[in-house]
Structure 1
Amino acid sequence: MSSLSTADTPNPLSAAEAAANARRSASAASHTAAVKRRERAAQWHLLFIAVVVLGPLVIYPLVRLVMLSLTGPHGLSVQAYSTFFGNPETRGVIGTTLWILFASAGLASLLGVALASLLFFKPFPGARMITRFLELFVAFPSFLVAFTLIFLYGSQGSVSIGLQRLFNLPAPPLNFLFGIGGVILAEVVFYAPFVVRPTLASFALLDRSLIEAARSLGANGMMVAFEVILPLAWPGIAAGTILCFLLTLNEFGILLVLGSAHLITLPVAIYGSATVDLDLPTAAAGAVVMLMMSLSLYALYRRVNRRKVKGAGHGR
């Protein structure tokens, strides 16, 4: 009898474990349901942003742009692209665009990396203020830089007039701004700060002990720069350089202010087709070509920036 009664009596420990398991299951189910609700809410928020914000401001204009470039007299057609690429001036326009792009963005990138290196590795009194000014400088509109250069270095600018009076010259000595030289100078001045910031951020993640170890082993400054610093900091430098190329490719304000009648780049050609020739399909075709170039550079920038973030995570 006693054995039978013992067997029939429920184990208190087993009952407690069962209750705990039930509570854990209920908690897990509640957590899973809460996660699903948050995911559904995030999806609805994303859909709302896409429909209400991105739809009328981004998606619809881009779709209309592509459809306009594919519209012909009798429906869908690639005539606009044939007109754009068949124009004998198009090759010159693209060549001028690429020449200004590589000259301006290349020089701006070199200047930005040099400035960042000086500010980070050779700090001097006022370096912090200069860094803050460069951060503020990126908020300026590009055409403001162009007008500033005109007021300073134009044929009637203060520097040019000052040199004329100082050396008793018959005419102002500086007369290069309204052309390719002025455009490249303005774009270098304006876009170099866009390279400084990511380069400084990349330098800040460096392990200074590696630099000190290289110096203690007898490496000079050039060896430390090209064999230690550059291999470690190149993702940030590359991201800043690609961003500089992307922004320079889409520059229009400086070209509009300082570009001459013979200096026609792709943005200026698109603007002229749309406003002067009133050839909207050809202008749309050129805009789509430029959009593809910009998206390619942006995809490359995102890829390099992800590698930079991963490298920073591994470094920590």
Structure 2
Amino acid sequence: MSSLSASDALSGHSHAHARAKARRARRAQWQLWCILVVVLGPLVIYPLMRLAALSVTGAHGLTLHAYAAFFGNPETRGVIGTTLGILFASATLASLLGVLIASMLFFKPFPGAKLGTRFLELFVAFPSFLVAFTLIFLYGSQGSVSIGMQKLFGLQAPPLDFLFGIGGVILAEVVFYAPFVVRPTLASFATLDMRLVEAAKSLGADSSMVAFKVILPLAWPGIAAGTILCFLLTLNEFGILLVLGSAHLITLPTAIYSAATVDLDLPAASAGAVAMLAMSLSLYALYRRVNVRAGGRDGR
């Protein structure tokens, strides 16, 4: 009897646990729907749907005229080429610099390395245009460094005059987005089995061989995730372009902005925005796939 009572009690406890689990699942579903309807609906989903609808709506119904007008414009092809050129130059240099900084912080720690890591983590919270203004105050034609060099060497004109153009934009984006690569790279390095590194060194491998034959193959998912994130953020950069981009340096974000605010051509601006959104979502999907392979080691 006691055995039967214990079995009944255990069965009742199992059923109660299953009912509680089902209630939690239903509550989670209701919370998800609440977030979708109350938060994401009016703030994200509806504006994106309106944007997509505006890009394919004309006076006589559905049409692709906005896409044809925007991408059929000969100037747009030059804008896309400029955008991709700045994107690949900035993101590639920022990724290389980020990996180099992470390698120094992890494998060659120095006094103040932890403080430097904390500063880089804080740096990602700064608005991008602040970096652009900082570079202007330092390296602009009237910046402190430029004026100091002019006085030091007795020059007639400031020696530095490159910020307001493609050089300044690339420099600012490299400075701003390199820290975004440092964090996932450091997290990836932290998962390495250092015994493998020591074994490679004991077998006579030099530093470059250890880096490319041991460390890189093991840490590449985190490095790749940081690099793709850098490309994604650089693609959507607007503040630096607005501050440092000259009138002749027009990229896709500034072209969309100009079409919407200057030309008042909202359908054409919507078509460009939808194309940028498609590129951004593609990069984000690739980032998520690589990040999952990295095991979420960037802290996500």
Question: TM-score higher than 0.5 here?
Answer: yes
Aligned to 1:108: 94
Aligned to 1:132: 118
Letter of the 2:293 partner, please give it. Answer: R
Aligned to 2:164: 178
Look at both structures and tell me which one has the larger radius of gyration over its CA atoms.
Answer: 1
Distance 1:120 1:94, change over 3 A: same
Aligned to 2:5: 19
Aligned residues: 298
Task: Give, in whole Å, the separation in 1 of the partners of 2:269 and 2:86.
Answer: 21
Distance 1:171 1:109, change over 3 A: same
Matched, 1:217 2:239: no
Identity %: 77
Query: Residue deviations 1:166-224, cap 9 Å, x none?
Result: 11111001000000000000000000000011101111111111100000000000000
The CA deviation at 1:21 is 2.5
Distance 1:137 1:310, change over 3 A: closer
The CA deviation at 1:19 is 2.4
3-state SS of 2:125 partner: coil
Aligned to 2:240: 254
The CA deviation at 1:24 is 2.2
RMSD: 1.2
Query: Residue deviations 1:126-174, cap 9 Å, x none?
Result: 1111111111111110000000000100011111111111111110010
The CA deviation at 1:262 is 1.1
Alignment of 1:1-316 (within 5 A): 15-309=1-295
Letter of the 1:170 partner, please give it. Answer: Q
3-state SS of 1:263 partner: coil
Letter of the 2:100 partner, please give it. Answer: A
Letter of the 2:24 partner, please give it. Answer: R
Name the TM-score, length of structure 1 as normaliser: 0.92
The CA deviation at 1:22 is 2.0
Instruction: Give structure 2 stretches of 5+ with no counterpart.
Output: none
Name the TM-score, length of structure 2 as normaliser: 0.97
Distance 1:213 1:139, change over 3 A: same
Task: Give, in whole Å, the separation in 2 of the partners of 1:16 and 1:67.
Answer: 69
| Runs of 4+ residues over 4 Å off in structure 1 | none
The CA deviation at 1:124 is 0.9
Residues 225 and 291 in structure 2, CA contact (< 8 A), matched pair in contact too: yes
Letter of the 2:31 partner, please give it. Answer: H
